[in-house]
Structure formats: C-alpha cells, structure tokens
Amino acid sequence: MEDRNTFIVRCGEVALKGLNKPYFERMLVDRIKRALKKFDGIEVKRKEGLIFVKAPAALDQDEIVGEISRVFGVASISPAVEVDSDMEEIGKAAVEFMLRLIEKKGVKTFKVDAKRADKSFPVKSPDIARNIGAQVLIGCKVLKVDVHNPDCLLFVDVRRDKSYIYEQKISGFGGLPLGTNGKGMILLSGGIDSPVAAWMMAKRGMLIEAVHFHSYPYTSERAQEKVVDLAKIVAGYCSRFKMHTINLLPIQELIVQNCPEEETTILVRRFMMKIAEKVARETDCCMLITGENLGQVASQTAEALVVTDHSVQIPVMRPLIALDKVDIMDIAKNIGTYETSILPYEDCCTVFLPKHPTTKPKLEKILESESRLDVEQLVNEAVASKETITVYPDYR
C-alpha cells in the first residue's frame, strides 16, 4: 500500500507561453503550494511539462483535488498511481488499480489509452496498451474490453523514470497563475456582477484589490457584511486581498441638492470612478475593474459608459461587457457567489434613484452639472475617510 498519493496537474494556457513558459510554470507551482499550505507533508514539483503533487495517503484526496482545482492556470488534475517504468510493474499496478475500481464503482468494461512520453522506452504506445489490457483481462476476470463506450478509460503515461496510471481528468478553471498580470481595483458591490468580474480578471492572472461604496445609514450594516461575505468567496480563488470601504452618502446628498435629478445616477457613478482611481493609484493598481454589462441598466448604456470613462485617466476593464445576464448568473453559481449576491440587502446604487434616469447623457451637460460641486475636495475627503480591511478566504 502506498504511503503517498500522487496527483498529476496539467497546465492550460501556461503551456503555450513559449520562452516565458518556465516563469509561468514557476508561478503556478508557487500558487499550488500556497493553496495546499494548510496540509502537512505536501510536495509540489514540475517535471517534463507537468506538475506533480505528492501528499500523504492519510490526507483526503478529494479535498486536495478541490484545492488544486481552484488555482488559476490549472487545466486538469488526475489522482494517479506512480510506478517504475517497467512493463511488469505497470501491469501489476494496472490490475490492482482496476480491482479497486471494480469494487468502488462497479466497472465492467474498460479501454487502455497508453502514451509513451519517453521515446527511448522500448515498447511503443499501441503495444503498451495491448500488453496492459491483456494483463488487466487476466487479473480482473469480470472485465471486458469496450473500445467505443467503456465504463473506464484507463490511462497509462510512461515517462523516463516513472509511469502513471489514472482514470480521471478533473477539470480546473484554466486561465493564468495569479500575479502574472499586474493588479487591478474592482468596484465591488453586493450584486451578482462585480464578484464575477473580479473572479474573471483574477483568472487572467491579475491580483485584486477592492473598493466598496455604501450609503450608511440609508444602507444597513448587514448590507456591508454581505459584501464582505462575497469578498471572502472571491478570496477563495485569488487569495487574501485588501478591501477599502467608503461612505458615499455625503456626495450623493450634494448631487441631489445641486444637480438635475435625471443625472444623479451617472454623476454618482463618475464620483465612484474618480474615488476608485485615486485609491488605485495609492495602492499600485494599474486599472479599474467593474461588473458593468452593456445596456443592463441606465448607467451602462454605450453613451453612459463613454461619459463614465471620461472621469478617469487609467484603463477600465469590463470583463462582463458583452455577456448575457444568464451567462453571468451561471458563472456566479459555479464559483459560489450567487446565493450570497441575491440576498435582499440594499446597496448605495439604490439610494436617491431618479424616476427617469438619463440613458443618453451628454458629456458637456454632465461636466456643467459637476462644476457645481468641488469635485477634487469631495474625492479627497472620501478617500481620506476610507476604512481598509484584509479579506481572507472563507473556507480556510
């Protein structure tokens, strides 16, 4: 009986990085090590284009797979049996592997898929498959070969020193390892969209910080707790990050008192962007990230987005811009944010909501309205009042 379990981890897009591939692989190994830090006795190494994780057999295999699968850059994971690259040893291990599957899953048919990564190995891939298949048939009398629709596709991966036997390829999220694409500032609300936007940018290798706006006491403390809960779920994928919380109510009240009602939404949005930009520059974030989706609400029409973008001088990433709402909801459900996002707690965007918000704002008119306020002072005061916390993953 093995005292250690082996997991084969395959890179996704990382494998296409050419001369930069070793850098991305090192970053991915580091992220996997961090994800498995809570376990004792874990070993993570990269070899021959793959990453191998070895863990004490006493540890829960499914839990380890779950942790690895959340690491961006991982395409798939296979719990595997490691043996010496010798046909007799491979055959014995394959028989034992299939006997366990018969007992555990009731497997009745199988097919062997063999790959000879080490071309110096004296037996070619088709012959490996036939040989191992024959040994399995002899050792497991209840099994039959089915090359078209087998209950189990038995993989045999022959490499230079060791060979690996497995039957699963458990999908990861793919993408790029965290930390390979700078840092961005997400405008995080309690809705469905912005947590998904943060997750999507993290999947592209971007480190995340967050700024959250509230309108206390018009918005409740429970509404703020909801956003922290969402941030913790996002942190489960992109590690701990800082979240800056800012009360937008003083600015909202001044806008309502001094500017046309129908422009309230777009003016508030511009202030949020300006404040977020200032926080981003102070924290070395190279861009803003929002959950905006073209045409979803009044402030997200093409004309409104142009006016919004005019308020800042750093790039604004909108990873959800062309997705259907149903697609966004599906991602939210998949990553675990949906149920928290739909909890019925208000956010600052619902405060002082105009009856008929402008959907095609003119920049000249918006700038004229904005000139009635001391924009720079209000932005500086808002940033100075921010409260910052470090958000940790909720499952660790």
Q: What percentage of the chain exceeds 70 in pLDDT?
A: 97
* Residues 134 and 199 reside in one and the same domain: no
* Residues 156 and 210 reside in one and the same domain: no
* Residues 269 and 310 reside in one and the same domain: yes
Q: Is residue 396 assigned to a domain? A: no
Q: For residue 117, give the CATH number of its domain.
A: 3.30.2130.30
CA atoms of 384 and 2, how far apart (whole Å): 58
CA atoms of 323 and 95, how far apart (whole Å): 48
pLDDT digits (tens, 9 = 90+) for 201-227: 999 999 999 999 998 888 888 888 999
CA atoms of 366 and 370, how far apart (whole Å): 6
* Residues 265 and 141 reside in one and the same domain: no
Strand ranges across the sheet with 316-317: 316-317, 287-289, 183-187, 207-214, 241-247, 387-391
Q: Is 99 annotated as ligand-binding?
A: no
CA atoms of 392 and 198, how far apart (whole Å): 15
* Residues 271 and 379 reside in one and the same domain: yes
Structure-token match 């993953």, residue found: 393
Q: Is residue 177 assigned to a domain? A: no
* Residue type (1 letter), 346: E
* Residues 364 and 248 reside in one and the same domain: yes
Q: For the residues 42-61, what does the mean pLDDT come to?
A: 93
* Residues 31 and 145 reside in one and the same domain: yes
Structure-token match 């376990």, residue found: 39
Q: What is the pLDDT of residue 22?
A: 87
Which one of 171, 196, 222 terminates a domain?
171
Provide the 10 A C-beta neighbour count for residue 69.
16
Which one of 171, 202, 236 terminates a domain?
171
Q: For the residues 34-51, what does the mean pLDDT come to?
A: 92
Count how many domains the chain has: 2
Range of the structural domain that residue 118 is part of: 4-171
Q: State both tokens at 90.
A: 């491979």
* Residues 150 and 249 reside in one and the same domain: no
pLDDT greater than 50 at residue 346: yes
Q: What is the pLDDT of residue 109?
A: 97
Q: Is 296 annotated as ligand-binding?
A: no
pLDDT band at 1 (very low <50, low <70, confident <90, very high): very low
Q: What is the pLDDT of residue 149?
A: 96
Q: Is residue 14 assigned to a domain? A: yes
Q: What's the whole-number average pLDDT of the chain?
A: 93
Structure-token match 């966004």, residue found: 328
pLDDT greater than 60 at residue 2: no
pLDDT greater than 80 at residue 315: yes
Q: For the residues 117-126, what does the mean pLDDT come to?
A: 93
Q: Is 281 annotated as ligand-binding?
A: no
pLDDT greater than 80 at residue 174: yes
Q: Is residue 249 assigned to a domain? A: yes
Q: What is the pLDDT of residue 351?
A: 65
Q: Is 19 annotated as ligand-binding?
A: no
Q: Is residue 326 assigned to a domain? A: yes
Q: Is 159 annotated as ligand-binding?
A: no
Q: Is 18 annotated as ligand-binding?
A: no
Q: What is the pLDDT of residue 350?
A: 65
Put residue 44 in one of left, alpha, beta given phi > 0 → left and psi -120 to 50 → alpha: beta
* DSSP alpha helix (H) spans, the chain: 21-35, 61-69, 87-105, 125-139, 193-203, 221-238, 249-258, 264-282, 302-309, 325-335, 338-341, 363-370, 375-384
User: Using an 8 Å Cβ cutoff, are 366 and 308 in contact?
Assistant: no
Q: What is the pLDDT of residue 396?
A: 42
Which one of 171, 192, 220 terminates a domain?
171
The vertex-343 CA angle with 338 and 345, nearest 5°, equals 135
Least confident of 4-18, 218-232, 371-385: 4-18
* Residues 152 and 232 reside in one and the same domain: no
* Residues 318 and 355 reside in one and the same domain: yes
More confident residue, 99 or 219: 99
Q: For residue 343, give the CATH number of its domain.
A: 3.40.50.620
CA-based nearest residue to 155, from 275, 31, 50, 29: 50
pLDDT greater than 60 at residue 318: yes
* Residues 214 and 334 reside in one and the same domain: yes
Q: Is 187 annotated as ligand-binding?
A: yes
* Residues 148 and 205 reside in one and the same domain: no
CA-based nearest residue to 202, from 180, 229, 172: 180
DSSP string, 136-194: HHHH-TT-EE-SSS-SEEEEEEE-SSEEEEE---EE---SB-TTSS-EEEEE--SSSHH
Entry pTM:
0.91
Q: For the residues 112-118, what does the mean pLDDT come to?
A: 94
